[in-house]
Structure 1
Amino acid sequence: MPNAPLILASTSRYRRELLERLRVPFEVESPWVDETPQEREPPAALATRLALAKAQAVAQRHPAAWVIGSDQVADLDGQPLGKPGNHEAAVRQLRSMRGRQVVFQTAVAVVGPGHAQAQTVPVHVRFREASDAEIEHYLRLEQPYDCAGSAKSEGLGISLLEAIVSDDPTALIGLPLIATCRLLREAGYPLWESAR
C-alpha cells in the first residue's frame, strides 16, 4: 500500500522533530490514550503497552494508514518515572537520580493493515552528583517538565549526566529512529520510495 498515509500518533514536538529527519511525509494526530500504569507493571512493559495503544487508537480511526506510536518511561530501580509536570516534581526526580543509573525505556510501535509490531529500546543513563543549586539552576533555565526524567540530553540537561549507553542514539530524545526504520521496513512501508 505505497500510497497509504503515515501518521505519528503523538502530540510530542520532540517525536515530530525526530520523525522529520527521515524525510517522509506524515501527519500527526493525538492518540488520546490513558497512560496510567497498571499495578506493578514494569517500566519496559508499560512503555511497550502505551506505544502500541497509541498507534492502535489512531489506526482505528484510519484503518488504511500506517501509524507510529511511541512512549518513554524512565526506570529507576524498577520504578517508573514519568513526566514531572511541574518544578517541584522535577526537583524531586533529579535529586533521586543523582549519582545513579536510570534506564530510559523507549518503545515504538508500527500498526497498519493487518500488522502490529513494537520494540522497546533501553537507554542506560548515569547521572552525576549534581548539587541542589545546579539542579535548581538547570530547571529554571530549561524547564523540562514535559520530559520523562526531567532532563533534556539534547540541551543543557547533558551537563547533569556522566554517560549514555544505547544502540539507538535518538531513543533518549523520545523516538528510536533505528528501530522505527526497522519496523517500517518489516511492515512493508516503502520508506526509501517515500523519502524526499
Structure 2
Amino acid sequence: MRTSFFALIPAALLASAAFAQEADEARPLDVVPTEEQTMEDEAGQEAAPPVVVETAAITGSWTRARTAARDTATFTSEDGEALFTVACMSADTETGDTILEVKSATSDSNAGAIDMFTSAGNARLPAGPDETPDLAAGMTDPVSQPAFVLASGAGELRIVSGARGMVFETDPMLKDVIRNCQPGYRAALRQAAASEEDRGS
C-alpha cells in the first residue's frame, strides 16, 4: 500500500523538494556585524564635511583692456594680484556670437565652481583650473544668470571659489564689459551706426 502511495506523488514535486533542501544547505549563515564594522559602515555613509570659506574684504582697483578680440575688466588687489577678471570674446567669428570668460582667484586648483553674490542675486558658474596657477576659469553666455548678477549688482561683490572668499566693490567697467557683450546691445550699436551713415549720405 505504501509503495502505491509514493508512486502517486508527482516526480516534479519530489524534485522541487530536493532542490529546496540543497538551496538551504548552500545558503550562507546570516552574519551579525560587529560593533566596529557597523561604525565603519556608518562613517563611510556620512557626508563630507562642508568647506569652510575664509572671506576677506579686499581693497584694490579695476582696470579695463580692449583689443580686437577681447574686452576685459580686471580687479587687482593693492598687492598687484589679479583676483577677478571678466572678458568678452568671440565665440563664433562667422556669426559674431560672443561669450563671457570669468576667472577668479581660488584656494583650490580643482575647484569646480565660481560663486557670485551681489545685490542683484547670486549665481554659480561651473569652472575648472586655469592655465595660470591659483585661478579658476569658466565660460557663460552674456545673457545668463551669472552675467545678469554681475552686471546688475551694486556696491559689494562677493566671489567664492574653493575655500577662498573675496569681497570688493563692483565697478562700471565690469558692467560695461558685460552689457557690451550682449547680442542685443551690439545689434543696437550696429543699427545706430548704420542710421548715422544714412543721415550723413
TM-score, structure 2 normalization: 0.24
Higher strand share: 2
The structure that has the greater radius of gyration is 2
Higher relative contact order by CA 8 Å / sep ≥ 6: 1 or 2? 1
